[in-house]
Structure 1
Amino acid sequence: MNKKISLSDLRFFEMKLFLITLIFVTSINLLSSQGEKKFFDPMDVFDLSWASDPQVSPDGKTIVYVRKSNNIMFDNTSSNLWQISVDGKHHQPLFSGLNNYQSPRWSPDGKKLAFISDESDANQIHIRWLDSTESAVISNLQESPSSLSWSPNGKWLAFTMNVKSPIEAIVEPRSKPEGAEWAERPITIVNTRYQYDGQGIVDPAYRHVFIVSSDGGSVRQLTNGDFNHNGSLTWSLDSQQVYFSAYRSNNWELVSNEADIYSIDIETGELDQITTQSGAERSPTMSPNGKYIAFSSQERRPLAFTPKRIALVETQNKKIRILSESLDGDADNIIWAEDGQSLYFSYDEKGIRNIGEIALNGKYEKIIGGLGGTTIGRPYLSGGFHVANNIFAYTHGTSDRPSDIGVIRNNQKTVITSLNKNLLGHRKLGMVNEITYNSSFDGQEIQGWYITPPDFDPSKQYPLILEIHGGPHLAYGPSFSAELQIMAAAGYIVFYNNYRGSLSYGEDFALLLQYKYSSQEDFADHMSGIDALIKKGFVDSKNLFIAGGSAGGIATAYAVGLTDRFNAAVAAKPVINWLSKPLTADSMVGQIYHQFPGPPWEHLEHYWKRSPLSLVGNVTTPTLLLTGENDRRTPISETEQFYQALRLRGIDSAMVRLPNTSHSIASKPSRLISKVDHILAWFERYQSDPEEIN
C-alpha cells in the first residue's frame, strides 16, 4: 500500500534538498576560493607584520625581537616584544597588545631584559626578570629615553634623554585683569635649530646622558651644558665610565657633521675627550679586552655624501686608525666579535644590505646578504642584526615578504619565523625583476627593478609607473613594498631604479649628483630605463606615468618640465623652489653646507637652475601634488608654489593636503593606503586605450 505524500512533506523534502545543495555548492566554492590566490589588496596593509631589532641572549639560545603590526581600529603601528629560541621553537609573545614595547636589551648575565614601553602612558624603562617572569617600571621620566646600555657588572643602565632649557623672554608679559580673555602669549625663538619634522616648533632642549640602577630608583644626570650628548652608549669594563658622542662647541648649531667621542665618570662626573679630529665620530663600542674603542668615523667636508668608516682608538694613548678604508661605502651597526680580533658590521652593495666581518688589519669579508624588509611602504634598503655567543640574528627580507628573523649558527643560515605566511602565502604578488642598462646621458650603468602585474602575460602591453626614491642619497632594492605591490595589482608595470647619487654603488657614484640635484643627468637615468623596458615589448609607450616622494617628488616635478612623455604625474612632498626651501625647512644648516656651493643669496643662479619652478613654463603634464600640512622637511609652501603656478598656466592639477601629517605621509596605515589610492585614481583619469601589438 503506497503512502500518500502530503504537500507539507513535499515542501520539507524540497527544503532539505535545497539546503544540501546549498551546503555542497558553498563547500565547493570555498575550496575553490582557498585554492585560488587573490591579488594584494590595499586593505591587506592592516594585516602585515614585520620583525626588527633582534637581540640574542648572552648564552646564544634565545632571541628577543620587536614585532610590528598595523591596527585597523586605531590606525597605527604597534610594537610588541616576542621571543623565540634559535632553533625556531618556543615562539611566543613577551609583551603584546595596544601598548608599544621597544629597545629590548639583555643584561650581561642574561637573567634580565631591559626595554622601553609606553604602558604607563609615558615612555619608561622597564625590567623583566626572566626566571620569575615578573616585570617592573624602574624609571619615572618626563621625556622619552633612548640608547639603553647595560653596565658590564649589570648594576646600571645608561640612557640618553632630552632636558628642556628655559626660554628667556624678550619682554615680561603684562598682567591682565581678572576674568579677561587675551590672545595667547607670543612664542619667542632664539635658537637656530628650532624646528624638527614630526615635532614642529620645539622648546629648547638638550640631550644628556643618565644612569639608573637596574633595581630601580631615581635617575641621575651625568652630562651638563647646552649641548647634545648622543648614543649609542658603551661602558668601560670596570663599569665606571660611559662613552658617548657630542659636539661641545659654542657654535654647534651652525656646524654640520661634527662630533667627538667622550667618556664621563659615573662617580666624579669627570669628562674626558677621547677624539679631537675634524668630522663626526659616533657610536662608540668597547672591545672585549678594553684595549680599543671602535666607532663610526666620518670626515667633515662640503659634499652630499661622505662614507662612514670603522675606526679604532686605543684607550691608553688615544691613537686612532681607520679600519675600513678599502670598503667603498658606509659601514654601520658595528659589533665586536667575542675574541676581540674582529668586528661585525652592515654595509650596502648594489641594492642589497649585507653583514660583513673586518679584522683588525682591515681585511673584510661578507658573511651574508639579504637584510631588509623593515620599511614596508617602499623598497628602501633597511634591516639590522645582532650577535652573541657566535649566534647571529638578523632581519631577513625578500621581494615577496617583509622582514622575518634569520639566524646563522655553525655557518648554517635559517629563517626561523614566517610572520606573513597566512596573509601573503594566499596572495598573488607582482614579480620583482632586475634590470641593468646604460644612461643616455653618459653611458653610466644604472641598476633598477620592475614589478610585473600578477597574472602577467608578456605578449600583452601594460601601462608603466616610474616610482623614484627619496634622498637622493638613499637606495631601493629588491625588497617587499606594499605601495608598489598595490600599483602592480592595479595592472601596472612598476619601475624603480637606483639612479646616480644613490647609495650602495660607491663614493664616486654617490657624488655624481654633487651640486646637480635635480638635473638632466638623473632625468636621463630614469628615461633610459623606461626606454629599455619599452624595448622588451610589454610596456605601452602611450601610457607612461611618473611618481615619487621627497627627492623623488623633486625629480618628478623637474621631469615634467623637461618632457611631455608622461600621461600624468604625482609629486609627493616635493621641493619646488630651492631659493625658498632651505630657509624654511628644518634641514637648513646641513643642506646648505653639503648640497650647495654656498648660501642662496650668494648663488641665486645655481639654486634657481636646480628648482623645478624654473621649468614650470614648459609643463603640460597633468600633475597631482600630495603633502602633509605639518611637513617641516619639504614645507607645504613648496607644494603651494607649484600648484599655483600650474593653475595660473591652466594645467590640469590638484593639491592634496594631509592634515596633522609631517614629512612621513605614509606613517599611518590609512595614510599609506590613501597615498596609493590618490596616485592610482589620478593616473586612471589619464590612461589612454592600450596599444595593439603588431
Structure 2
Amino acid sequence: MTHSPHSLNALRKIGRRLLAATLIWIPTLGFSAEESLRPFNAMDVFDLEWVSDPQVSPDGNRVVYVRRSNDIMSDRTRSHLWRIDTDGNNHRPLLSNNDNAYSPRWSPDGNRLAFISSSTGSSQIHVRWMDNGDVAVVTHLQSSPLNLSWSPDGRWLAFTLSVKAPTEPMVKPRSKPKGATWADKPITVSTTRYQYDGRGIVAPSYRHVFVVPAEGGSARQLTTGNFNHSGALSWSSDSQQIFFSAYRQDDWELVSGEADIYAVDIASKTLTQITREPGAERNPQVSPNGRMLTFTHQVRRPLAFTPDKIAVSKLDGSDLQIISGDLDGDASGLIWSKDSQSIFYLYDERGERKIGKASLKGELRKVVSGLGGTTIGRPYLSGGFHVASNTIAFTRGRSDRPADLAIMKKGKTRVITSLNEDVLPFRQLGKVQELVYTSSHDAQEIQGWYITPPNFDPNKKYPLILEIHGGPHLAYGPNFSAELQMMAAQGYVVFYDNHRGSLSYGEDFALLLQYKYSSKEDFADHMSGIDALIKKGFIDDRNLFIAGGSAGGIAAAYAIGLTDRFNAAVAAKPVINWVSKTLTADSMVGQIYHQFPGPPWEHLDHYWKRSPLSLIGNVTTPTMLLTGENDRRTPMSETEQFYQALRLKGVDSVMIRMPGASHGIASRPSRLVSKVDHILAWFERYKKADDAAEKGAKDD
C-alpha cells in the first residue's frame, strides 16, 4: 500500500498527537515535562507549517489563506488553500487535491474564489464556486500567470503573463545529413537584461496584461511592446479600464528606479499614461468610490535606499499628493478603507513589521503590530495582511512560532489558527532576547538579538555564532528562525543584529552604509555587539564564529580580513570582488547606479576597497564558502576567486557547491538543512575544548 505525501504528513501528525498525549502522562511518573522534550533539530523543518497571503471575504466573515509546509518526500515547499470563519470556526481545507494552489482572490460578490493551481500539470487560473465547491479551469496558458485581479462586475479576471518576443537568427542554420548528431545550436544574447537569478539565461520575453472571462475562455493580451508591465492590477469602477505600472521607454534596460502608472481600455486596448513623475510609481489601487488612485512613489536618485511613499491622485493622475511624508521608511501593501477616506499599509519599525493607516490629510497611526513568520529559515521581517468590511486578517509571527492567522475586528485582535501546536510545544527552543548597544565606531545605537541554547545556564560559558543578514538594506527581528534554532540547539549562543544600513530605523540609518558596503563601520557594529555579550559573562571568548549569507557573506568575508578573533568563518553566497561581481551578475544595472559612485572602470579604487579580496593578505581564519552553482546574483565565480586565493595562502578552507541552487539556497528544505549542517560541522572542527575537559584529557 502506498501513501501520498499529504497522507504521510497526516500520519506523522497523528503520531505527534500520540506523543503529546504521552508527554502529558510522563510527569505523573516523576519526570518533568521539560525533561521529556528534545531540542529542535533539522528534521523538524519538515513538520513546520505557516500562513501566508490571507484574503478576507467581501462580507468580512471568512478568510481564505495559503497554508504552506515542507514536503519531506518531494523536498518542496507546498501551498494549499484553507478557509476559516473570522471567529475561528469552520477551519478546513478548501480543495481536496494535493496540488499546489496559491494567490486566492475573492470575487466582488464573495460567491467565487479565483486562484492559481498546478492541478492540470501547469500553473493555470481556476475559479471555485463557494456554495457547492465546483471548480473550473479558466485558462490554458504557456507560462505562469501573476497578479490576479477581479473586475468589479465579476465578469473578468486580469493577470500578467510573460510573452516571448520574436527573434531573428543571426545566421541561417545549416542542413545536416539525415541521422547526423551535431552540437547544440549556439545561444545568441543581444539584450542587456539577459539573465535572472533562478531562471538563468533567458530568451527575450516581456510581461504583459491579459484578461480572461471569469467563466473561462480565451485569454486576450491588452498590452504590447518590448516592455514589462508588472505589479498589482486595479480596475476602474465601471470595469472598463485596468491600471498598472510600467516603464515604457526605449532605454528601460539601462535605467533603474523609473516607472509610471498607465491605464488600458479592455475593449479598445487604448493605453493612457496616468503619471509622469520622475522616479517610480507602482502598485496602483483604485478607491472604492472609483474617484481616486493610491500608489507607491519612489524618488529616483543614485542612493542605495530610497523609501516608497504613499501617493494619492485623481484617476487621471492630477492633484498628486504624498500623504506619508511623516513616515521615515517604506510603505507597501496599500489597501483602501471601505469609505475611501484612508489607506492601510505595511511599514517596519525597529525590527518589527506593522500595519498603519493614513488619512487623506496625511495623518498616520499604527493599527496593529507583530506581523511576521512567513520566512522560516532566517528571522527576516516578513508578513502580509488584507482588509475587507472593517476586518483585518494578517500573519502573526512570534519568536517561537512561524506565522499563524490573526484577525482584528473593532480594535480587538485574536489569533485564530495554531498550525504548529502539534510540534513546537514538544521541542525545547532557544530563547530570543533583545540586545541594544552602541557601536565602537561612532556610538551609534544598534539593536540586536541573541538566542540562548535549550537548558541555558547563565553561569556557564557558551560558544558564540555571529550570523549577519543579507541586503544589506533588509532587517532581522525577534522572529522564528529554523536555521538559528538549529544552531542554538547545538549549544551555541546565536547573535544577530541590525547593523547600520539595515531597514526599519529610518532613512538616515539606512544610508549610513552608502558607498561603504562592506566597511570597517558595519564591522564595528558587529564586534561591539559581541563584546557587549561577552560582558554578560556567559560567552566563551575563545570560541567565536561568524557566518552570513549574501550581503552577510560579504560582511563575513570582509571581517576576517580585519580580525583574527574568530575561530572559523562561513561566507555563504558572498561577493568577493566588486569589479567582477557587478559585471557578471543579474543585478548589474541597479547595483552600479544605486550602490557605487559610477561604473568600475571609472572608480576602480573604490570597488577594490569595498572588496573582501583586497584584504586577503590579512586572512588567517579557516573559511568555508557555500554557494549555489546556479547563483546569478552573487555568481559562483566570486566564491571560486576567494577559495583559490585562500588555498594559495595556505588558509584552511573548503568550498561547498550546491547543485541546482540559485541565490535562494534554502528554496528547497533539504538545502536549508544541508546548509546549516555544513556550517555547524565546520565550526565544530575549530571549536576549542573546555579548559576543564582539556586538562582532564591531558591528565589521562
Helix, strand or coil for the counterpart of 2:189? coil
Aligned to 2:141: 141
Q: Aligned partner of 1:187: which letter?
A: I
Deviation of the 1:692 alpha carbon = 7.2
Deviations along 1:439-483, one digit per CA (max 9) or x if unpaired, are 000110000000000100000000000000000000000000000
Aligned to 2:322: 322
Q: Tell me how far apart the structure 1 counterparts of residues 96 and 254 of structure 2 sit (CA, whole Å).
A: 43
- The answer to whether the aligner puts 1:128 opposite 2:138 as a matched pair is no
| CA contact 2:274–2:317 (8 Å) conserved in 1 | no
Aligned to 2:276: 276
Aligned to 1:529: 529
Residues 317, 104 of structure 1: alpha-carbon distance in 2 compared, 3 angstrom cutoff: closer
Helix, strand or coil for the counterpart of 1:487? helix
Q: Aligned partner of 1:608: which letter?
A: W
Helix, strand or coil for the counterpart of 1:554? helix
Q: Tell me how far apart the structure 2 counterparts of residues 178 and 329 of structure 1 sit (CA, whole Å).
A: 64
| CA contact 1:540–1:691 (8 Å) conserved in 2 | no
Deviation of the 1:377 alpha carbon = 0.1
Deviation of the 1:591 alpha carbon = 0.3
The more displaced of 582-591 and 96-105 is 96-105
Helix, strand or coil for the counterpart of 2:294? strand
Helix, strand or coil for the counterpart of 2:119? strand
Helix, strand or coil for the counterpart of 1:606? helix
Q: Aligned partner of 2:460: which letter?
A: K
Deviations along 1:104-126, one digit per CA (max 9) or x if unpaired, are 00000000000000111110000
Q: Tell me how far apart the structure 1 counterparts of residues 460 and 479 of structure 2 sit (CA, whole Å).
A: 26
Q: Aligned partner of 2:660: which letter?
A: N
Deviation of the 1:368 alpha carbon = 0.8
Deviation of the 1:231 alpha carbon = 2.3
Helix, strand or coil for the counterpart of 1:122? coil
Aligned to 1:180: 180
Aligned to 2:7: none
Deviation of the 1:690 alpha carbon = 3.0
Q: Aligned partner of 1:101: which letter?
A: A
Aligned to 1:487: 487
Helix, strand or coil for the counterpart of 1:119? coil
Aligned to 2:67: 67
Deviations along 1:577-609, one digit per CA (max 9) or x if unpaired, are 001000100000000000000000000000000
Aligned to 1:20: none
Aligned to 2:4: none
Q: Aligned partner of 1:455: which letter?
A: N
Q: Aligned partner of 1:573: which letter?
A: K
Q: Tell me how far apart the structure 2 counterparts of residues 478 and 498 of structure 1 sit (CA, whole Å).
A: 11
Aligned to 2:354: 354
Q: Tell me how far apart the structure 1 counterparts of residues 175 and 369 of structure 2 sit (CA, whole Å).
A: 65
Deviation of the 1:169 alpha carbon = 1.7
Q: Tell me how far apart the structure 2 counterparts of residues 28 and 591 of structure 1 sit (CA, whole Å).
A: 57
| CA contact 2:51–2:374 (8 Å) conserved in 1 | yes
Deviation of the 1:33 alpha carbon = 8.9
TM-score norm. by structure 2 comes to 0.94
Q: Aligned partner of 1:175: which letter?
A: S
Helix, strand or coil for the counterpart of 1:666? helix
Deviation of the 1:537 alpha carbon = 0.3
Aligned to 1:7: none
Aligned to 2:509: 509
CA RMSD of aligned residues (A): 1.4
Deviation of the 1:173 alpha carbon = 1.3
The more displaced of 30-39 and 628-637 is 30-39
Deviation of the 1:172 alpha carbon = 1.1
User: Which protein is bigger by CA-based radius of gyration?
Assistant: 1
Helix, strand or coil for the counterpart of 1:347? strand
Alignment of 1:613-692 (within 5 A): 613-690=613-690
Deviation of the 1:691 alpha carbon = 5.3
Residues 652, 175 of structure 1: alpha-carbon distance in 2 compared, 3 angstrom cutoff: same
Q: Tell me how far apart the structure 2 counterparts of residues 342 and 576 of structure 1 sit (CA, whole Å).
A: 46
Helix, strand or coil for the counterpart of 1:310? strand
Aligned to 1:400: 400
Helix, strand or coil for the counterpart of 1:224? coil
Aligned to 1:11: none
Q: Tell me how far apart the structure 2 counterparts of residues 516 and 172 of structure 1 sit (CA, whole Å).
A: 50
| CA contact 2:100–2:118 (8 Å) conserved in 1 | yes
Helix, strand or coil for the counterpart of 2:682? helix
Aligned to 2:543: 543
Aligned to 1:437: 437
Residues 461, 691 of structure 1: alpha-carbon distance in 2 compared, 3 angstrom cutoff: farther
Helix, strand or coil for the counterpart of 1:599? coil
Tell me how many residue pairs correspond in the alignment.
668
| CA contact 1:554–1:612 (8 Å) conserved in 2 | yes
Deviation of the 1:289 alpha carbon = 1.3
Helix, strand or coil for the counterpart of 2:676? helix
Aligned to 1:5: none
Q: Tell me how far apart the structure 2 counterparts of residues 571 and 42 of structure 1 sit (CA, whole Å).
A: 21
Structure 2: which 5+ residue stretches go unaligned? 1-21, 694-700
Q: Aligned partner of 1:127: which letter?
A: V
- The answer to whether the aligner puts 1:234 opposite 2:220 as a matched pair is no
| CA contact 1:561–1:612 (8 Å) conserved in 2 | yes
TM-score norm. by structure 1 comes to 0.95
Deviation of the 1:168 alpha carbon = 2.1
Deviation of the 1:34 alpha carbon = 6.7
Aligned to 1:572: 572
Q: Which structure 1 residue ranges, 4+ long, deviate > 4 Å from structure 2?
A: 27-35
Deviation of the 1:95 alpha carbon = 2.2
Q: Tell me how far apart the structure 2 counterparts of residues 338 and 613 of structure 1 sit (CA, whole Å).
A: 55
Q: Aligned partner of 1:368: which letter?
A: V
Q: Tell me how far apart the structure 2 counterparts of residues 507 and 530 of structure 1 sit (CA, whole Å).
A: 26
Structure 1: which 5+ residue stretches go unaligned? 1-23
Deviations along 1:80-117, one digit per CA (max 9) or x if unpaired, are 00000001111000125541100000000000000000
Q: Tell me how far apart the structure 1 counterparts of residues 622 and 28 of structure 2 sit (CA, whole Å).
A: 44
Q: Tell me how far apart the structure 1 counterparts of residues 382 and 599 of structure 2 sit (CA, whole Å).
A: 33
Aligned to 1:169: 169
Deviations along 1:45-64, one digit per CA (max 9) or x if unpaired, are 00000000000000111000
Q: Tell me how far apart the structure 1 counterparts of residues 294 and 317 of structure 2 sit (CA, whole Å).
A: 14
Deviation of the 1:174 alpha carbon = 1.1
Helix, strand or coil for the counterpart of 1:543? strand
| CA contact 2:274–2:316 (8 Å) conserved in 1 | no
Helix, strand or coil for the counterpart of 1:82? strand
